[in-house]
Amino acid sequence: MEMERSSVDLILQLFDIGAVKFGSFKLKSGITSPVYFDLRVIISYPDILIAVCEIMWKHIESNREKFRVICGVPYTALPIATVICTTNKFPMVIRRKEAKDYGTMKIIEGVFEQGSNCLIVEDVVTSGSSVWETTVSLQDAGLTVTDAIVLLNRQQGGREMLESRGITLHSIFTLTEVVTCLNKEKKISDSMVSEVKDFIANNNTFTPNPDMDVKPRRKSKEDATAKSYRNSIPDIEQVTYESRGVLCKNEVAARIFRIIHDKQTNLCLSADVDSAVELLEIADVCGPHICILKTHIDIIDHLTPNISKALTELSKKHNFIIFEDRKFADIGSTVRQQYSAGSYSISEWADLTNAHSLPGPGVIEGLKAAVQNRKDRACLLIAEMSSKGNLADANYTKATVQMAEDHRDFVIGFISTSKVTTDPTFLHMTPGVKLQPGDGQLGQQYLTPDEVICKRKCDIIIVGRGITLAANRLQAAIEYKNAGWKAYLDRVNA
């Protein structure tokens, strides 16, 4: 079928302003693509932005009665959704990337009726994960999502993934249509068209699961539906960090997966130093290359509130999580005070902490009580240990996993030396990692990044002395970051 002239003209305009580029581009996933779409530039070309919005609205206008509000996926699709809604006098809501810890603390901003159907607007769909993440947030706020509209479908599995979860994806253009049009208009060569088509054929992000028969989650049925949904997802090693992040109901877990994906690092730096000045220096120098900074705040000399404040500012500057390795192991009333009170006031500045499961579920309940309903705090349980002669046997580990499943609103994963559950919403963080294996001081047993990530199927490598004692800490951090990320790519591409 011949493409309408208006569509051809829009594709040519997008090509002319550099919103569509051809060459060699490294994507966030680490793969190299012959084509790249940078639709952020359209905000600088009002006529083209309006044309994009008009063609998308025309596609959905006949079904407008089906929807009550529109939501753009942050951030590129926000101006598109805004223009569509203001031009056509249609209600809009906004989804934040993450809730603020002040004010209303909402993820979804705007006025809407519970149960209303919300249309999602996106610019480009590859895997569909951004649309799905927005879907989950909207549904958790009480909205219904059945459809999404996108300007460009890259044909790499996004439509199929969303359809498997009950979302119909409407696209204005497919990648094949775009390159065919540009070739016909003498903008790109026949060989480039072939290269792009080969790329599409060889880089599908969606692996169907024959047992998967799921619909989008409903907040009111979290316990039964979410468990069934999670059990239908492929095993951890077959799922990307990005895809796992959008499955997470816990905001801290979702944020960690986003940081790992965006910064391409699964490195947690264990900054076990006793000087506050040295701690802040390490955080600033290595911060750009880590997803989590692990602290032992009780070994810092002359600790003051200004230290934790400065650490929090560095975590915002470099986009990493602060994990206080406190290892709580007492009755609920005691750990509640240890977590929120005293000279450390851990709950005020640490995004993440951890606990032993030995005391039973009371330790988790006490920690949860300390932060009440805050969504920006979470906990890991110690399921396995890396020291010689430890007493965390298989029964202990099994009981720990069960406790995590019973408290998944607060517990987001495990400290472990192996994968202890196939649930992709739980994180596995492994200590005792060095580039070379072996035994260390005081019973520490070291594993390599490849052993931890690729073979044992864990998610995050925890590195301490390999970086803190290095002559060049920055260089060491980069080496571990690259080693961990390579192991991850080897695992998901196996």
Mean pLDDT across 92-120: 83
Distance CA(414)–CA(346), nearest Å, equals: 19
Q: Would you report the helix, strand and coil content of the chain in percent, each value rounded to 5?
A: 45, 20, 35
**Residue 214, pLDDT score:** 42
Q: For residue 393, what are the contacts with CB-CB under 8 A and spacing of at least 6?
A: none
| Mean pLDDT along residues 88-106 | 77
pLDDT for 373 beyond 90? no
Q: In the beta sheet, which residues pair with residue 472?
A: none
Residue 395 forms beta bridges with which residues?
none
Q: What percent of the chain has pLDDT over 90?
A: 67
Q: Is a pLDDT exceeding 70 seen at residue 466?
A: yes
Q: Outline where 33-154 has alpha helix (H).
A: 46-60, 77-88, 129-140
- What pLDDT is attached to residue 28? 58
Q: What are phi and psi of 348, to 5 degrees?
A: -75, -30
* Mean pLDDT within 61-69: 93
CA dihedral sign, ordered 426, 428, 429, 434: negative
Contact 453/461 with Cβ under 8 angstroms? yes
Fold (topology level) of 237-492: TIM Barrel (3.20.20)
pLDDT at 222: 37
pLDDT value at 80 more than 90: yes
Does residue 230 have a pLDDT over 50?
no
Q: Among candidates 68, 122, 124, which has minimal Cα distance to 92?
A: 68
- Nearest by Cα to 414 from 453, 458, 454: 458
Confidence of residue 258 (pLDDT cuts 50, 70, 90): very high
Domains in the chain: boundaries: 49-207, 237-492
For position 400, what pLDDT does the model report?
A: 94
**Res 189: pLDDT:** 96
Q: Look at domain 49-207 and name its CATH class.
A: alpha beta
SS3 category, 405: helix
Structure tokens at 337: 């005070």
d(CA 434, CA 461): 9
Q: Peptide bond before 75: cis, by omega within 30 degrees of 0?
A: yes
- Digit-coded pLDDT (tens) for 441-454: 545 567 999 999 99
- Strands (E) across 175-320 are located at 267-270, 292-295
Q: Are 166 and 215 in contact (CB under 8 A)?
A: yes
Between CA 198 and CA 201, with CA 200 as vertex, the angle to 5 degrees is 65
The residue type of 443 is: G
User: Stretch 58-65: mean pLDDT, rounded?
Assistant: 92
Phi, psi of 119 (to 5 degrees): -90, 130
Residue 354 has φ and ψ, to the nearest 5°, of -145, 165
- Amino acid at the residue 145: V
What's the whole-number average pLDDT of the chain? 87
Cβ-in-10-Å burial (0-12, 13-18, 19+) of 412 comes to buried
Mean pLDDT on 255-269:
95
Distance CA 46, CA 32 (A): 31
Which carries the bigger pLDDT value, residue 100 or residue 356? 356
Identify the pLDDT of residue 103.
Answer: 58
pLDDT in tens, 322-371: 999 999 999 999 999 999 988 889 999 999 999 999 999 999 999 999 99
Instruction: Give backbone dihedrals phi and psi of 324, rounded to 5 degrees, phi first.
Output: -85, 115
| Residue 468 clears pLDDT 80, i.e. is over it | yes
Q: What is the set of active-site residues? A: 327, 330
For every residue of 285-342, DSSP letters joined together read HHGGG-SEEEE-GGG-TT--HHHHHHHHHHHHHHT-EEEEEEEE-S-HHHHHHHHHST
The average pLDDT across 462-468 equals 95
Q: Report which of residues 223 and 266 the model is more confident about.
A: 266
Buried b / exposed e over 75-88, threshold 16 CB at 10 Å, is ebbbbbbbbbbeee
Q: Would you say residue 202 has pLDDT above 90?
A: no
State residue 441's pLDDT score: 53
